[in-house]
């Protein structure tokens, strides 16, 4: 018998996905230069977390089950046994959605998932059956959704994002071009609030117009709301789902930023009616339970219990529970803008956008922002950032970088941008 060797080429395309390779490269550079300030990492700030909270939230959830009439055996079963595919937090999540987001859906339209990433995989798997079906994405695009699409073999077509966020007219244009090519644009994915990576945010008019266009082009809309709580001001920004009168929007919810990532609990809302050949009518979320069961049976009820306890403690308002975090991220976004102004504003050709919230800004720099420059930036200047090219399906973003301000202190942000400015100054000089 001979030892097995597999050719990497014989593995599925998702294994060798270029975006995954790029992200691996980024992580690998970060590991090699641990002292570099990371304006690349989009993870939330850990200063708000306390390990003791985990068991406290679990205790609150356990008491909640008891108060709801669960005996000891039922509590044990809820937390430690196999559970329903779509989870057990629906009543708390639907209260949260009514309180914070003005979204009113029945419990059975909600499925609790192993993080928002799994919600994406479930929705794409369930909805994409015909090889002609195409996923439209606002581009530049979050790599999680293009990754899930790659995994499932869903073709992706980008709709270029305008400076003020996705232009509904562009959606119409791309949807029609896709259709003219014999394919079927089925779903449009976007992050309407402070997108990752661009920071773009749609105004109310754009949101309504987008829904109108989606109806006109018969698109389902996949709304990813990972950052919605973290606006730079208190201006109300209605979710697409709250404006969705004809069940056209599937909503992806995350607790990673509003609670913490380690629970790996997210959810989806899919209140679309699915009609069977026999006339039976069920909600899409109920149909997708089968997909969930084939992926991971059900989301860990322990992890659900931790998030459940947090929701109960906050009286199902994460907006209220996140007051300090909202203030922190606002301050950091201001710090990032100020630092760019201070260190790059007066002399350089660099330009940046002005997101109305979220974790990210995009800076255009007068040089190629590739992996080679990133390596130099990490090793010689001690600062990390993300090439925007990682977020494009084609070859966009070559002269742009994404800066994240979520995981750092204001002082670190300033120092990181100072180092970035040195990089830009030196390499700009070398271009002249």
Sites for its own copies among residues 260-279 (CB under 8 A): 260-265, 272-277
Residue partners of 205: CB distance under 8 A and separation at least 6 = none
Cα 280 to the center of its chain, rounded Å:
34
**Please, which residue, 99 or 184, has the CB nearer to its own copies?**
184
Query: According to CB under 8 A, which residues from 150 to 179 bind its own copies?
Result: 150-151, 153
**Please, which residue, 121 or 350, has the CB nearer to its own copies?**
121
List phi, psi (to 5°) of 351: -135, 150
- For the chain, the straight-line distance linking the first and the last C-alpha, in angstroms and rounded, comes to 62
**Please, which residue, 59 or 349, has the CB nearer to its own copies?**
59
186-212 exposure pattern, b = at least 16 Cβ within 10 A, e = fewer: bbbbbbbbbbbbbbbbbeeebbebbbe
Residue partners of 411: CB distance under 8 A and separation at least 6 = none
Are 386 and 366 contacting, i.e. CB atoms less than 8 angstroms apart?
no
Are 263 and 233 contacting, i.e. CB atoms less than 8 angstroms apart?
no
Query: According to CB under 8 A, which residues from 377 to 396 bind its own copies?
Result: none
Binding of residue 318 to its own copies (CB under 8 A) = no
**Please, which residue, 18 or 164, has the CB nearer to its own copies?**
18
CA dist 8 and 297 (Å) reads 29
Query: According to CB under 8 A, which residues from 83 to 102 bind its own copies?
Result: 83
CB of 154 to its own copies, least distance (A): 10
Are 250 and 269 contacting, i.e. CB atoms less than 8 angstroms apart?
yes
Binding of residue 234 to its own copies (CB under 8 A) = no
**Please, which residue, 196 or 400, has the CB nearer to its own copies?**
196
Query: According to CB under 8 A, which residues from 41 to 60 bind its own copies?
Result: 43-44, 46, 49-51, 54-55, 58-59
Please give the size of the binding site for its own copies, defined by CB under 8 A. 97
**Please, which residue, 89 or 148, has the CB nearer to its own copies?**
148
392-420 exposure pattern, b = at least 16 Cβ within 10 A, e = fewer: beeebbebbbbbbbbbbebebbbbbbbbb
CA dist 269 and 292 (Å) reads 14
Are 333 and 42 contacting, i.e. CB atoms less than 8 angstroms apart?
no
Among 181, 293, 324, 368, binds its own copies (CB under 8 A): 293
Binding of residue 35 to its own copies (CB under 8 A) = no
CB of 153 to its own copies, least distance (A): 8
Cα 237 to the center of its chain, rounded Å:
17
Helix, strand, or coil (residue 316): coil
Binding of residue 253 to its own copies (CB under 8 A) = no
CB of 32 to its own copies, least distance (A): 16
**Please, which residue, 15 or 162, has the CB nearer to its own copies?**
15
Among 80, 169, 204, 376, binds its own copies (CB under 8 A): 80
Per-residue contact track with its own copies, 103 to 142, x per CB under 8 A?
A: -----------xx-xx--x---xxxxxx------------
**Please, which residue, 274 or 367, has the CB nearer to its own copies?**
274
Q: How many of the other CB atoms lie within 10 Å of CB of 12? A: 10
CB of 294 to its own copies, least distance (A): 4
**Please, which residue, 47 or 164, has the CB nearer to its own copies?**
47
């Amino acid at each position: 018998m001979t030892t097995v060797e597999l050719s990497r080429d014989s593995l599925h395309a998702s294994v060798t996905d270029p975006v995954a390779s790029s992200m691996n490269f980024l992580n690998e550079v970060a590991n090699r230069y641990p002292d570099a300030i990371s304006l690349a990492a989009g993870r939330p700030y850990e200063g708000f977390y306390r390990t003791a909270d985990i068991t406290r939230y679990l205790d609150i959830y356990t008491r909640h089950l008891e108060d709801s009439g669960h005996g000891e055996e039922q509590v044990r079963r809820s937390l430690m046994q196999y559970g329903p595919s779509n989870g057990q937090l629906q009543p708390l999540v639907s209260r949260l959605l009514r309180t914070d987001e003005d979204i009113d859906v029945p419990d059975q339209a909600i499925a609790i998932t192993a993080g928002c990433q799994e919600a994406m995989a479930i929705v794409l798997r369930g909805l994409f059956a015909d090889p002609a079906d195409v996923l439209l994405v606002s581009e530049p695009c979050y790599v999680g959704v293009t990754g899930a699409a790659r995994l499932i073999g869903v073709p992706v077509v980008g709709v270029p994002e305008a400076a003020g966020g996705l232009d509904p007219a562009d959606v119409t244009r791309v949807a029609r071009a896709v259709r003219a090519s014999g394919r079927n644009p089925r779903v449009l994915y976007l992050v309407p609030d402070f997108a990752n990576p661009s920071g773009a945010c749609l105004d109310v008019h754009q949101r309504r117009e987008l829904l109108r266009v989606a109806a006109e082009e018969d698109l389902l809309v996949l709304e990813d709301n990972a950052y919605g709580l973290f606006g730079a001001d208190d201006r109300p920004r209605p979710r697409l789902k709250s404006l969705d009168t004809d069940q056209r929007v599937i909503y992806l919810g995350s607790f990673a930023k509003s609670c913490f990532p380690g629970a790996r609990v997210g959810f989806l809302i899919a209140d679309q009616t699915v009609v069977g050949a026999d006339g039976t009518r069920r909600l899409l979320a109920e149909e997708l339970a089968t997909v969930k069961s084939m992926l991971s049976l059900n989301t860990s009820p322990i992890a659900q219990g931790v998030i459940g306890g947090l929701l109960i403690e906050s009286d199902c308002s994460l907006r209220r529970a996140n007051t300090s975090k909202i203030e922190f991220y606002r301050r950091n976004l201001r710090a990032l803008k100020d630092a760019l102004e201070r260190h790059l504003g007066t002399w350089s050709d660099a330009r940046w956008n002005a997101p109305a919230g979220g974790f990210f800004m995009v800076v255009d720099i007068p040089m190629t922002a590739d992996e080679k420059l990133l390596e130099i930036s990490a090793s010689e200047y001690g600062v990390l950032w993300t090439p925007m090219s990682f977020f494009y399906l084609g070859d966009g973003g070559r002269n742009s970088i994404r800066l994240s301000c979520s995981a750092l202190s204001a002082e670190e942000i300033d120092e990181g941008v100072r180092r970035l400015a040195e990089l830009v100054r030196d390499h700009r000089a070398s271009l002249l």
